[in-house]
Structure 1
Amino acid sequence: MKRMSISLFQIGVLFITLCIVLLSIFWLPDTAAYFAEEAPEWAYLKWPLLAGIYVTLVPFLFAIIEGLRLSRRVAVNDAFSRKSVQHLKNIRNSAFVISAMYLAGTIVLSRLVDISPGIGLLAIIIMLASLMLGLISGILEELLRKALEIKEENDLTV
């Protein structure tokens, strides 16, 4: 049962990731072109915004890969290892990078144009979600590190 639930988790993550990548490749440029036509005074922001979103896709995909690697370790009963700690650390760092990128992008965008409340709220939601994921990953990383230390002490005393 455990292996099946982990497999379903991995399939779900891969499906959602594929949807996000496909939307970024096919839907996002068309939507940006549409809004550039609707608001020609802001058309010069089309390519910088697309580039910013695509740049943030890199740490997102890296975190997804690390999460899948971590779930594979759990599936083969190797969750309590140094590699698992490293996977959590990489997920934490990726989440913080995404948060920082959206914060910098929002600040730059607010200096260039007057941000609409919807775009500002979306950026804040993405920043906070990434920040929370980073904090949770950091807590889990520290807990796993301490559990490994206790496990190593117990192995040495026996």
Structure 2
Amino acid sequence: MKQGSTLFLKIVIVLIGIPVLALCIFLVPAIANYAVELYPDYSFIKYLIFIDLYASAIPFYIALYQAFKLLGYIDKNNAFSDFSVKVLKNIKNCAITICGVYVAGMPLYYLISEKDDAPGIIIIAMVMIFASMVIAVFAAVLQKLLKEAIDIKSENDLTV
């Protein structure tokens, strides 16, 4: 693959990470404060929201870093290596973790949406769950295909 296309993808990865960082800095505290306004008797709900949303941001950034590493392997012509398989496995695990964090936070989102009468909050959380599941399945399929390609390549190298 050309250096320019992987450079473009690396820039896209950085551009994906910047808005999520902005959301973590500005939107998460606003959501937590709003939840405390909805449930003033349960002030600990603020910390639950912080834990849930920041806990999903951590594997997201780990997955972005792993994708950045994968593009580095492609630049070095190491795309068909065990390192790439490991990177895809890490991306799959990060996506599963994000899915699990949002599933664990669904009762919290339900409480907020019930009090605010906004079912869109639950829909947004479900979109995040299903998107991370799709990414996990896609990474698992790519991981399996890459592993099989590496096995076929090593067999061909041994027969020649």
If the length of structure 2 is used for normalisation, what is the TM-score?
0.87
Quick one: distance in 2 between partners of 1:2 and 1:62?
A: 25
Q: Give the residue type in structure 1 aligned to 2:57.
A: L
Superposed, which structure 2 residues align to 1:52-91 within 5 Å?
52-91=52-91
Deviation at 1:31, TM superposition (A): 4.3
Deviation readout 1:87-129 (Å, 9 max, x if unpaired): 0000001101111111111145547983741111011100000
* Partner AA of 2:79 in structure 1: A
Inter-partner Cα distance in structure 2 for 1:22 and 1:10: 19
TM-aligned CA deviation for residue 32 of structure 1:
3.2
1:104 maps to 2:104: yes
Matched letter for residue 92 of structure 1: K
Aligned to 1:114: 114
**Whole-Å separation in 1 of the counterparts to 2:29 and 2:112:** 21
Following superposition, the deviation at residue 29 of structure 1 comes to: 1.1
CA shift in 2, pair 1:109/1:15, >3 Å: closer
The 1:42–1:137 alpha-carbon spacing in structure 2 relative to 1, beyond 3 Å, is: farther
Q: Which TM-score applies when normalising by structure 1?
A: 0.88
Q: Shift of the alpha carbon at 1:47?
A: 2.1
Deviation at 1:16, TM superposition (A): 1.8
* Aligned partners of 2:113 and 2:121 also within 8 Å: no
C-alpha distance in 2 between matches for 1:3 and 1:80? 17
Percentage of identical aligned residues: 33
Aligned residue for 1:51?
51
Distance 1:61 1:78 in 2: 23
Which runs of structure 2 are paired with 1:12-51 in the superposition (5 Å)? 12-34=12-34, 36-37=36-37, 39-41=38-40, 44=43, 45-51=45-51
Q: Per-residue deviation at 1:23?
A: 2.1
Query: Structure 2 matches for 1:139-158, cutoff 5 A?
Result: 139-158=141-160
TM-superposed CA distance for 1:76, in Å, is 1.7
Q: Provide structure 2 residue ranges, at least 5 long, that are not aligned to the other structure.
A: none
Report how many residues are paired: 157
- Deviates most, 68-77 or 132-141: 68-77
